[in-house]
Structure 1
Amino acid sequence: MKTAVSSANKSSLSLIFADFKEITKARLSISVVFSAIAGYFLGATEIQLVPILLLAFGGYCMVGASNAYNQVIEKDLDALMNRTKNRPIPAGRMSVKTALLIAVVLTLIGIVSLYVLNPKTAMFGAISIFLYTSAYTPLKTKTPLSVFVGAIPGAIPFMLGWVAATNDFGIEPGTLFMIQFFWQFPHFWALGWMLDEDYKRGGFKMLPTGKKDKSTVLQIIMYTIWMIVISVIPVFGITGALKLSIPAAVLIFLMGMVMLIFAFKLYEKQDNASARKLMLASVSYITLMQIVYVVDKFI
């Protein structure tokens, strides 16, 4: 009997943990934390464990809170789409009150954690939550410009790490912001292309032209080119303390060109398979680019 009760309790805890990961979008949150830590390494003159832990913990809380608020607001729309109908709220495994409580608690803990680092970091974290929930989320059903608005909080993490390390905002974190800002467009439009039919079930307007056409891909190509340009600008020595060696810049340029080739493939074929390859290439690019920046600084 005790064994059965113990197994049931473990199973229940596993389900609760799984729903917590889902409501906070754990994979996305961890990737955002990775970007923030990369920014911290770039800005720090001395690597310290406590600030890294505070940044990682506070960053996860802030992103998790944004995602929880988003799922509360979009609960009815999530129920209409195949990719989201099994989320905790539309599936009935979590109440709106519980999800909202999680969001509020994570917001408070996240802001306090980032404030301990410095007030500017907490401020940018709070701005990110506000824009994501109060601007990006409601605009998704009204205009494709929501992607532009959403790209602002989406670009903050890389920059946030630098601010956390330096307590300063200047050209260096501004450049990191712009890199991730321009990256958002090919990434999300490739994703929007793949999920266009499902997004339309929920009434979301994600593609810039509203259609899976060449005009949409031309914009993807344009933003990819801008992303590449901004990514290598530090090699010219015009971005303050943020620097990039010639070999690192060449490597990042080549990685960007690979992503651009996938964008041209999508222009040529206009199919979901090509969009998926571009989306995966974009994920690889942002991760590897940040690693190259950090490794280049320390070698």
Structure 2
Amino acid sequence: MPLLEYATPFAARLAERYGLPGAGYGAAQVLRDKAQLRRVTRAAGIANPPWRHVGSPDEVRAFMDAFPGPVVLKPANRQASLGTQVLHFRDQVDHAWAECVQQDEGFLVPDRAFPLRMLVEGYLRGPEFSVELLVREGRTLFANVTEKALFPGARPIELGHTVPAEIPDELAARLRARTEAVVAAVGFGSGVVHCEWIVVDGEPHLVECAGRFPGDGIAELIERAYPITLAAHYYAVMRGEEPPPLPARAERAAAVRFFAAPPGRVTALDGVDEAAEVPGVVRVSASYEVGGTVREMRSSWDRAGSVMTLADTPGDAVKAAERALELIRLEVEPR
């Protein structure tokens, strides 16, 4: 059972060797490679942004010439928004390329090397969502749509998530159907998929899809909002069992909001206890302590902390998180 992105192909291959349920080795390989995923899903008629596999800054600039407007430069086989940047001008390419190819994932880096491959894509403007499915032998047992918010700036790092997304039923159904089309296109067998979308003029466009549990606390948001024990149902599926029927709609709403800080040494951290007392807050966490060093926010690993909430509606869950964040004071002495 893969719980980290880099483990998905090995877990799928091992399941096949033991004759157990799993994603399928071929499906796991496609989902691990954003370029291959683009090829497969586009051939299946799923909307994708224009994209190209690139091996140098000059190839990025050539793409920008062919597709005017902002572009997204990102690794094809990394995680947590690592190295991903939005570029508006040709003179940004060399610096962005140097940053993308020099990754530091700390203790999260695999203990084996694998080559870094780069993609450039046309930048899409529109609301962003993710769809989480629990799948057994290609059949959906549970579906959720999560609404996503991003930090402003050139790096598309998640600011927060809300479960369920407060959107019309028609759009939610369309996002689910497109995700099920991805599952079918890659031949995914059993497990959880976490598929990210940008909706442009009502049509979902694929960002990427992972054959594993979602990160950023989304799984916990789902378990609180519906409420279900998603992990227990997942383990049942992976043992080859048929779990009981799962709810089609959430009973409540849950949200997580992250906060950031400028790079430097932390000199003060106040308000965490007060934030935890805000009605609806279920957890507050800080990634740094006084005396610690805040890194420049280049990926999801660099956020300064988070607040998770539970409320009757998605809007109320978000408001509670924002009220709690206003109470937290993280002071940093610049480097």
Say whether the fold is shared (TM-score over 0.5): no
Structure 1 or 2: more strand by fraction: 2
| TM-score (norm. length: structure 1) | 0.28
